[in-house]
């Protein structure tokens, strides 16, 4: 029965929080203070772009999605799996939080396949096909707090750049076999907004029907669309609760968007 499962909170952090050392430090303090089982998933696209520019590599995007050629993949692995991931793990360890950093290749936890698209070749970009949730369950039961970056693998020796929002939702779905999973998307905004120019116009509750209506009206658009598609997909596949908002929602005392079926 669902009630007999232990709780697990999966937090995805991205946006300007990752890029701002002070904001990241504050977030990690709040994450470390959270009680219970937890997983952290992080992005870091802006840092990867800046690192690439320093190496003379130009970042290329198609409709907001990164094209990952071999040089850009090398940069992504260096920044996501190396610089950002290990900095986060070290900061969490300093706060008494037994974090362990992962790519999808570690322990074969997240298996992906290279994206198939007839119109656009995204390069070394992966779409998740399987998650080893049993290994995650064992790690969590032994007190490990997994910290995932946005790198997976194809099982044939190839690393792949993978959307961090998708990693978070896919982990949430897979782990729902063993846990009651709460999924939190933290970024610089207070939640899903009715007016993108008004940070206080938070939509407190968002069902799929409401989402469809607001999408058709153009209220919800751009990068929020794939994030919410991931949310509703996860809810349909067993995830208990999803929240979208600023890192302050980890403290539980502010308004944020609760996404439900």
- 36 has binding-site annotation: no
Q: Please give the DSSP secondary-structure letter assigned to residue 120.
A: -
Domain count, the chain: 1
**Residue at 194 is within a domain:** no
**Residue at 199 is within a domain:** no
Q: What pTM was computed for the model?
A: 0.94
- 66 has binding-site annotation: yes
The CATH number that applies at residue 114 is 3.40.1160.10
**Residue-number span of the structural domain to which 92 is assigned:** 2-189
**Residue at 196 is within a domain:** no
- Cα angle 128, 130, 136 (rounded to 5 degrees) comes to 110
- Residue 4: per-residue pLDDT: 85
- Residue 1: per-residue pLDDT: 43
Split the chain (261 residues) into runs of 10 and give each run's mean pLDDT.
81 88 94 97 91 93 85 96 97 97 98 87 94 98 97 98 94 96 92 90 93 92 84 93 92 86 83
**Residue at 258 is within a domain:** no
Select from 187, 197, 170 the least CA-distant residue to 257. 187
**Residue at 259 is within a domain:** no
**Residue at 29 is within a domain:** yes
- 45 has binding-site annotation: yes
- Residue 187: per-residue pLDDT: 87
**Residue at 208 is within a domain:** no
**Residue at 6 is within a domain:** yes
């Amino acid at each position: 029965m669902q009630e007999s499962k232990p709780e697990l909170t999966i937090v995805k952090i991205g946006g300007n929080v990752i890029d701002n050392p002070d904001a990241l430090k504050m977030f990690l303090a709040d994450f470390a203070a959270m009680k219970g089982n937890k997983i952290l998933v992080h992005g870091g696209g802006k840092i990867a772009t800046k690192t690439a520019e320093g190496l003379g590599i130009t970042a290329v995007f198609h409709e907001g999605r990164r094209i990952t050629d071999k040089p850009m993949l090398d940069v992504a692995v260096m920044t996501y799996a190396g610089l950002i991931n290990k900095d986060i793990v070290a900061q969490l360890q300093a706060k008494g939080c037994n974090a362990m950093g992962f790519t999808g290749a570690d322990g074969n936890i997240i298996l992906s396949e290279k994206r198939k698209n007839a119109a656009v070749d995204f390069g070394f970009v992966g779409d998740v096909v399987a998650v080893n949730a049993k290994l995650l369950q064992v790690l969590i039961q032994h007190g490990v707090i997994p910290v995932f970056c946005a790198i997976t693998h194809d099982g044939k020796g190839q690393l792949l750049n993978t959307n961090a929002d998708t990693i978070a939702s896919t982990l949430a779905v897979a782990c729902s076999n063993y846990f009651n999973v709460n999924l939190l998307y933290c970024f610089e905004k207070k939640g899903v907004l009715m007016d993108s120019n008004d940070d206080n116009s938070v939509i407190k509750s968002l069902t799929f029907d409401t989402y469809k209506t607001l999408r058709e009206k153009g209220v919800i658009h751009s990068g929020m669309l794939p994030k919410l598609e991931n949310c509703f997909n996860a809810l349909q596949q067993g995830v208990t609760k999803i929240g979208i908002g600023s890192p302050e929602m980890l403290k539980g005392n502010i308004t944020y968007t609760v996404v439900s079926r």
